[in-house]
Structure 1
Amino acid sequence: MLLLGVLLVGTKDTFHGVGGKLGDFSFCWCCVCFFNYISYFSMGIEQYILFLVGGGVSAMFTFFLHVDLNQGPVRASSLVGVLVGVFVLVCPDLLSPYLTQNLPLVCFGASFIGMVSSKVLSNYFLIGFSGIVFTIIFFNTSSFFNGFGGGLGSAACIALLVSLSFPLIRKQRKLHKRGLQIKRYRKSKGNN
């Protein structure tokens, strides 16, 4: 973080008037943290991608079972948890020990996202994205809240709230653009 602050202050005058500095620095810093994060857990990028895909697919599959096959939210989540658990128990040699230990937790926790009502969220892409966000939250918080109950559900709720905020952000951007268009229109009317 200190390095990011030094970079921002050091380049403030150099890139004066150029937009996107904060976003670029934040993106680069996130990339550095991401690769440092992967090496911290001593797992390769392949395993991390498997976790992310597992979280996204688990959330979407649970939602599919819940909404399209009318299995109910609890039954759908339980079925996903059982399927992943049985797969890991039957085929432990296909996965690394780290994947074998943590993949069922990630998939079961991400299945909580698929329990969302179709009246609240019905976009499969956003549900899958929420599963990916859940996986990232899980890896960043699981060591801090070890032994506390409700961690998977809380992380799933936060991930779902992140995805639910996208339409609001998009709406605000449209409102902002409309406001600029109105100002431009008023300026053009005033000049004529």
Structure 2
Amino acid sequence: MRHKYFHFFSIIFLVLTQFAFITALLLEHKNIFTVIFLTTLITTLIIYTYIKFFRIKEVDFEPFYVMIFVIAGALLTNYLHLFTSLNSVLAAALIGTIASFLPNVNKKSQVLQNIPNAMYCSCFVGMSQKHVAIDYSFIIIAGIIAGIFYMFSKNLFHGVGGKLGTLAFGSVVISSLLLLIIS
């Protein structure tokens, strides 16, 4: 029964992340009535889509050790982005490409099979700009949050694009809010 609560929380997290992103985009219009109307309309459509099309048939989680790969991928991508001549997209592409070849080292190893998606999710966290990710502790916290949601969302949104980016975006938003609250 607890597993269903984790999945429910993951879906709520994704809806709130999309709501925050859409609201931030619409706030650029400066017309509060347009923002309220469009945000309400889009959020209603997103919730309707989730209820109508995404049914959880079985509850399953990624193993706990994927958290290590999520954090490592975020740190490596962030390091390459900030301290080499690679921009954030190329740094993420390099880490994602290297991670995609790791399962070929030992095709029977379940640990190696779980690395590519976990590290690719974290590449989006590592792409954060320096004014957002002020130091490595921010990247580690965002990586932990992304890892938690990555573990809980194993059976969510199969065949839907954007899951890994949305998880990473949400973890960076939550980390930024935590940093704002603490300071």
| TM-score category, normalised to shorter length | 0.5 to 0.7
- Name whichever of 51-60 and 119-128 sits farther off: 119-128
Asked if 1:74 is matched to 2:107, the reply is no
Question: 1:166 Cα deviation (Å)?
Answer: 1.9
User: Highest relative contact order (Cα 8 Å, sep 6+), 1 or 2?
Assistant: 2
CA separation in 2, counterparts of 1:101 and 1:145?
20
Match of 2:112 in 1: 100
Does the aligned pair in 2 maintain the 1:84–1:104 contact within 8 Å? yes
Give aligned-pair identity as a percent: 25
Q: Which of 98, 106, 112 in structure 2 is aligned with 1:83?
A: 98
Deviations along 1:36-91, one digit per CA (max 9) or x if unpaired, are xxxx7588xxx51x211110111011000001112111110011111111122123
Is residue 55–residue 128 contact of structure 1 (8 Å, CA) maintained in 2?
no
* Matches of 2:61 and 2:159, distance apart in 1: 23
- What is the TM-score with the length of structure 1 in the denominator? 0.60
The CA distance in 1 between the partners of 2:100 and 2:75, in whole Å, is: 17
Distance in 1 between the 2:154 and 2:173 partners?
Answer: 19
> Which of 41, 54, 78 does residue 69 from structure 2 map onto?
54
Aligned position for 2:78: 63
Give unpaired runs (5+ residues) of structure 1. Answer: 3-39, 172-192
Equivalent residue in structure 2 for 1:128, among 129, 140, 143: 140
- For 2:94 and 2:100, locate their aligned partners in 1 and report how far apart those are by CA, in whole Å: 10
Gaps of 5+ in 2: 3-58
Residue in 2 that maps onto 1:35: none
- Give the whole-Å Cα distance in 2 for the aligned partners of 1:42 and 1:132: 16
Deviation at 1:168, TM superposition (A): 1.4
Question: Structure 2 vs 1, CA of residues 77 and 157 (structure 1 numbering), >3 Å: closer, same or farther?
Answer: same
1:119 aligned onto 2:134: no
Q: Please tell me whether residue 142 in structure 1 is matched to residue 154 in structure 2.
A: yes
Question: SS of 1:119's equivalent?
Answer: coil
* Count of aligned pairs: 127
CA contact (8 A) 1:84 1:107 kept: yes
Q: TM-score, with normalisation over the residues of structure 2?
A: 0.63
